[in-house]
């Protein structure tokens, strides 16, 4: 079977597409092609859609997997030319519209843009033949409005083999490496992460703390760092680099705003942190309760501004080696036994081959 991934907002090395879905389907003998208009940075939207259309017409795939309403519309155009036996699958992993679709527009334009983008999303649901849902809340409203169309929940779980397994430290009594990966914005919680690191370092002056920040943003910030706190800013990593090095850290932090959109989004990195076998602190999001109900056996869910709760958790990890190592083991066990790609990849194969 020939399968094409038609992408507008993801690159051709996206972890879900290239390292999971495409890899799994390729391993069972399917002919896989990935076309990413996202990588055509200098092209207009029209040029990108025409390029995608031409790639699909040249490929003539049996199945086209799309990542946005626009790529669904392009795939539907290709289907009408290639033939009705071609099937279009909408892989929904993003809100559409989301905050980033309207962030840079004045208020009056947002009032127009939001309903138009919402209609485009529903139109894509009408055009597609089947759905892949990355998480529970993002299946709304499609699984109710288009309940007759085939669908599959395909979570963001990491593969058992993707993340390098590095044993945790016996103790954090000498050094503790805190880790943040993401944009350096208030909405993503970066300022909270820095504040938390500083206050934890103040509480334990005899311990060397490192806050390791991995971000596509550039910053030169040396302000009032404590003697026992070093902040390291690293360049954005490729997916293989991230998987190779993420286990070198001790505790993972993600303190994004718990607004309506964020609280209904399940962070993908959570499953890679889990696979690394480390505790983590996350904002108390509804999507985490829904997607990983056992989360607090391996980490801390907190209101993003409740510093006292988060400080207490980190100090427990620092002061109590048994507490820290038990959370590391719980994290690793959950990943190995339940939340891993190997447990669900056959569902994708069956869905693509037989379920559409």
Q: Locate the domains of the chain by residue range.
A: 2-157+341-355, 175-337
Overall size of the chain counted in residues: 356
Kindly report, residue by residue over 248-292, the tens digit of the pLDDT: 999 999 999 999 999 999 999 999 999 999 999 999 999 999 999
Task: Using the predicted structure, report yes or no on whether residue 118 has a pLDDT greater than 90.
Answer: no
* CATH architecture of the domain with range 175-337: 3-Layer(aba) Sandwich (3.40)
Common-topology check for domains 2-157+341-355 and 175-337: yes
The per-residue pLDDT for 223 is: 55
The per-residue pLDDT for 84 is: 86
pLDDT classification of 102: cutoffs 50, 70, 90: confident
In this structure, what are the phi and psi dihedrals at residue 153, rounded to the nearest 5 degrees? -80, 120
The per-residue pLDDT for 31 is: 98
Supply angle C-alpha 10, 144, 295, rounded to 5.
Answer: 60
Instruction: For residue 276, count other CB atoms closer than 10 A to its CB.
Output: 26
Average pLDDT over residues 337-351: 97
pLDDT classification of 178: cutoffs 50, 70, 90: very high
The per-residue pLDDT for 113 is: 73
Are residues 279 and 252 in contact, defined by beta-carbon separation less than 8 angstroms?
A: yes
Average pLDDT over residues 212-232: 79
C-alpha distance from residue 12 to each of 36, 39, 49, 265, 299 (Å) = 6, 8, 16, 23, 32
Task: Using the predicted structure, report yes or no on whether residue 32 has a pLDDT greater than 60.
Answer: yes
Calculate Rg over the CA atoms of the chain: 22
Average pLDDT over residues 49-54: 97
Smallest CA-to-CA distance from 91 within 119, 130, 121, 120 is with: 130
Task: Using the predicted structure, report yes or no on whether residue 344 has a pLDDT greater than 80.
Answer: yes
Task: Using the predicted structure, report yes or no on whether residue 225 has a pLDDT greater than 80.
Answer: no
Average pLDDT over residues 340-348: 97
Provide the sign of the torsion angle of the four alpha carbons 192, 287, 147, 141, taken in this order: negative
> In this prediction, what percent of the chain has a pLDDT beyond 90?
87
The per-residue pLDDT for 220 is: 60
Mean pLDDT of the chain: 94
The per-residue pLDDT for 108 is: 64
Kindly report, residue by residue over 62-77, the tens digit of the pLDDT: 999 999 999 999 999 9
Is the model more confident about 108 or about 38?
38
Is the model more confident about 106 or about 137?
137
Calpha distance 116→97 (Å, rounded): 9
For residue 212, what are the contacts with CB-CB under 8 A and spacing of at least 6? Answer: 177, 178, 179, 180, 232, 234, 249
Domain 2-157+341-355: CATH class, spelled out: alpha beta
The per-residue pLDDT for 292 is: 98
């Amino acid at each position: 079977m020939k399968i094409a991934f038609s992408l507008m907002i993801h690159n051709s090395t996206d972890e879900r597409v290239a390292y999971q879905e495409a890899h799994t389907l390729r391993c069972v003998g399917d002919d896989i092609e990935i076309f990413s208009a996202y990588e055509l940075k200098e092209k207009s939207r029209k040029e990108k859609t025409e390029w995608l259309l031409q790639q699909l017409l040249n490929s003539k795939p049996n199945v086209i997997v799309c990542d946005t309403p626009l790529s669904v519309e392009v795939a539907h155009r290709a289907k009408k030319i290639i033939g009705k036996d071609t099937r279009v699958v909408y892989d929904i992993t993003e809100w559409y519209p989301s905050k980033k679709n309207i962030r840079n527009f004045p208020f009056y334009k947002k009032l127009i843009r939001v309903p138009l983008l919402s209609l485009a999303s529903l139109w894509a649901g009408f055009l597609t033949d089947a759905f892949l849902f990355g998480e529970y809340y993002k299946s709304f409203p499609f699984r109710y409005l288009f309940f007759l169309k085939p669908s599959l929940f395909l979570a963001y779980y990491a593969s058992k083999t993707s993340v390098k397994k590095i044993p945790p430290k016996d103790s954090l009594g000498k050094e503790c490496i805190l880790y943040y990966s993401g944009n350096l914005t208030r909405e993503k919680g970066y300022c909270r992460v820095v504040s938390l690191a500083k206050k934890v370092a103040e509480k334990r002056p005899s311990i060397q703390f490192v806050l390791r920040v991995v971000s596509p943003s550039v910053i030169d910030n040396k302000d009032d760092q404590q003697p026992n706190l070093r902040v390291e800013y690293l360049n954005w990593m490729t997916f293989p680099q991230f998987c190779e090095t993420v286990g070198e850290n001790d505790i993972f932090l993600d303190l994004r705003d718990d607004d309506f959109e964020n609280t209904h989004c399940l962070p993908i990195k959570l499953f890679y942190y889990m696979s690394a076998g480390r505790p983590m602190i996350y904002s108390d999001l509804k999507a985490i309760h829904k997607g990983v109900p056992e989360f607090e056996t391996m980490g801390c869910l907190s209101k993003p501004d409740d510093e006292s709760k988060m400080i207490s958790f980190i100090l427990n990890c620092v002061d109590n080696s048994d507490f820290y190592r038990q959370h590391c083991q719980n994290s690793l066990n959950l990943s190995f036994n339940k939340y891993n790609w190997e447990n669900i990849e056959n569902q994708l194969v069956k869905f693509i081959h037989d379920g559409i």
